[in-house]
């Protein structure tokens, strides 16, 4: 018994071109209590039979017409290669060929054991039982590994979802402090993902960009209300305080090992850098600015310009795009600007579907 399963319940395929040999083997197996047995005298049928029903053991003759046993072994492994990761085809070769070269070739090709005819019945039944028991243990181990992998993936996914919910809540908290809306960060994430894809980022990078970008202004949590919520123009010293939000956000997100939070920290710190080096906090320029930050910088400005706020009316999409074009090579990476133009239909759709207020649709519906 292996994990509640009887060795005698194992499925066995007998392959021999001689019907009399097949009959003798089946009779011997039935006497031993095996009852799940299939046979064929045509080696060309073996692959199709095995594909429909992988067996716990294949008893295979070597010397056969059309395809010999070596050909069958190779054909099985070729046909099952996609299903054989960390697995094998359980083959016991039974043959009248007694030379060492044949035995070595069969074992090297993938057979698990080799016996010569005429064989000792007790030895053969013992080897069959042992091979089937090993096979069942192997399958049980693979099944347990798959179940564990599935469980780990499910728990990891649940953890990531929980983490993402917390992250999104933090992003919204920062936006609401600055008279923004929760829809801004949703749009920002979707637009950043689209722009990243257009720029050639892979699927994983685009997913991370969508999830990390909503935390770009997290550092605003640390800006005093009298500065953050000031309705008019900042005084020079107030502007210096306001600029610290990028560093504050990076410090809040720093020190985490997950790719998501590491990218979020990079975006928080660098999304106010400018292509010509006139941005903050580090005055980075050109390709010194991380690509994710360059993407979010443009999308953030576009969405802010085309969104109504208590202190301003929404710009039209045309006016916002014109502003971005005028600042290509100064504020924005020209490559990112060119890619942004290519995704404008999708961007407009996002703006239409995720509006802050119904009346704001008129600012972009005619683009």
Contacts of 351 (CB under 8 A, 6+ apart): 187, 303, 306, 317, 364
**Would the pLDDT of 6 be above 70?**
yes
* pLDDT tier, 185 (very low <50, low <70, confident <90, very high otherwise): confident
Residues 100-120 have a mean pLDDT of 89
- Whether residue 143 is predicted with pLDDT greater than 50 in this model: the reply is yes
Q: State the pLDDT confidence band at 5, using cuts at 50, 70 and 90.
A: low
pLDDT on residue 176 = 61
What DSSP state is assigned to residue 64? Answer: -
What's the average model confidence in pLDDT over 109-132? Answer: 90
Dist. CA 196–CA 60, nearest whole Å: 55
The answer to whether 354 and 367 have CB atoms below 8 angstroms apart is: no
Q: Can you tell me the mean pLDDT for 256-280?
A: 93
> What is the model's pTM?
0.58
Local confidence band at 361 (pLDDT 50, 70, 90 cut-offs) = very low
Query: What percent of the chain has a predicted confidence (pLDDT) above 70?
Result: 89
Rounded average pLDDT over 331-344: 97
Q: What stretches of 96-152 adopt beta strand conformation (E)? A: 113-116
The fold adopted by the segment(s) 7-146 is Rossmann fold (3.40.50)
- Residue 362 — very low, low, confident or very high, per pLDDT cuts 50/70/90? very low
User: Angle CA(195)–CA(197)–CA(198) in degrees, nearest 5?
Assistant: 65
The mean pLDDT value of the chain amounts to 87
How far apart are alpha carbons 260 and 243 in whole angstroms? Answer: 24
Residue range 260-268: average pLDDT?
93
Strands 11-15 and 57-60: parallel
pLDDT of residue 139: 82
pLDDT for 168: 66
CATH architecture of 178-363: Orthogonal Bundle (1.10)
Average pLDDT of the residues in 178-198: 84
Tens-digit pLDDT profile for residues 7-43: 898 999 999 999 999 999 999 999 999 999 999 999 9
C-alpha distance from residue 45 to each of 35, 40, 48, 72, 223 (Å): 21, 7, 6, 10, 75
What pLDDT does residue 7 have?
86
Determine the Cα–Cα distance for residues 47 and 222; give it in Å rounded to an integer: 67
Stretch among 112-116, 219-223, 231-235 having the lowest mean pLDDT: 231-235
Nearest alpha carbon to residue 235 among 226, 222, 247: 226
Parse the chain into domains and list their residue ranges. Answer: 7-146, 178-363
Would you say how long the chain is, in residues?
A: 367
pLDDT value for 367: 40
Of the candidate ranges 143-147, 196-200, 336-340, the one whose mean pLDDT is the lowest = 143-147
- Cβ contact 336:300 at 8 Å: no
Examine the pLDDT at 4 and tell me if it is beyond 90.
Answer: no
Q: What is the pLDDT of residues 202-231, one digit of tens each?
A: 999 999 999 999 889 889 888 998 898 887
Fold matches, 7-146 and 178-363: no
Lowest mean pLDDT among 153-167, 234-248, 259-273, 311-325: 153-167
Is the pLDDT reported for residue 1 higher than 60? no
Question: Within its chain, how far is the Cα of 177 from the centroid?
Answer: 35
Residue 298 is predicted with a pLDDT of 98
* End-to-end Cα, the chain, rounded Å: 72
The predicted model gives 241-254 an average pLDDT of 93
Q: What pLDDT, on a 0 to 100 scale, did the predictor assign at position 171?
A: 65
Distance CA 340, CA 195 (A): 6
């Amino acid at each position: 018994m292996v994990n509640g399963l009887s060795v005698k319940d194992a499925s066995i395929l007998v392959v021999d071109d001689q019907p009399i040999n097949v009959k003798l083997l089946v009779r011997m197996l039935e006497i031993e209590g095996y009852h799940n047995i299939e046979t064929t005298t045509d080696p060309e049928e073996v692959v199709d039979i095995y594909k429909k029903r992988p067996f716990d053991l294949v008893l295979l003759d070597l010397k056969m017409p059309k395809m010999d046993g070596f050909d069958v072994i190779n054909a099985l492994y070729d046909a099952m290669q996609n299903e054989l990761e960390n697995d094998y085809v359980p083959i016991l070769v039974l043959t009248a060929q007694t030379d060492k070269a044949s035995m070595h070739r069969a074992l090297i090709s993938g057979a698990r054991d080799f016996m010569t005819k005429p064989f000792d019945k007790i030895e053969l039944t013992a080897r069959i039982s042992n091979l089937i028991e090993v096979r069942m243990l192997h399958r049980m181990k693979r099944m347990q590994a798959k179940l564990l992998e599935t469980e780990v993936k499910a728990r990891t996914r649940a953890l990531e979802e929980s983490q993402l919910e917390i992250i999104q809540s933090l992003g919204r908290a920062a936006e609401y402090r600055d008279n923004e809306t929760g829809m801004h960060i949703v749009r920002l994430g979707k637009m950043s993902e689209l722009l990243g894809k257009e720029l050639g980022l892979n699927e994983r990078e685009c997913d991370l960009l969508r999830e990390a970008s909503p935390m770009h202004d997290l550092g605003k949590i640390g800006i005093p209300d009298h500065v953050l919520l000031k309705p008019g123009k900042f005084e020079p010293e107030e502007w210096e305080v306001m600029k610290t939000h990028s560093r504050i956000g990076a410090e809040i997100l720093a020190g985490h090992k997950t790719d998501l939070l590491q990218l979020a920290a990079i975006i928080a710190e660098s999304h106010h850098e400018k292509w010509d080096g006139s941005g903050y906090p580090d005055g980075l320029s050109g390709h010194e600015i991380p690509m994710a930050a360059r993407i979010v910088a443009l999308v953030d400005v576009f969405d802010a310009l085309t969104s109504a706020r208590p202190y301003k009316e929404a710009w039209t999409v045309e006016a916002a795009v014109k502003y971005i074009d005028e600042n290509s090579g100064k504020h924005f990476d020209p490559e990112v600007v060119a890619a942004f133009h290519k995704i404008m239909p999708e961007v407009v759709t996002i703006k239409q579907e995720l509006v802050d207020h119904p009346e704001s649709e008129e600012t972009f519906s005619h683009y």
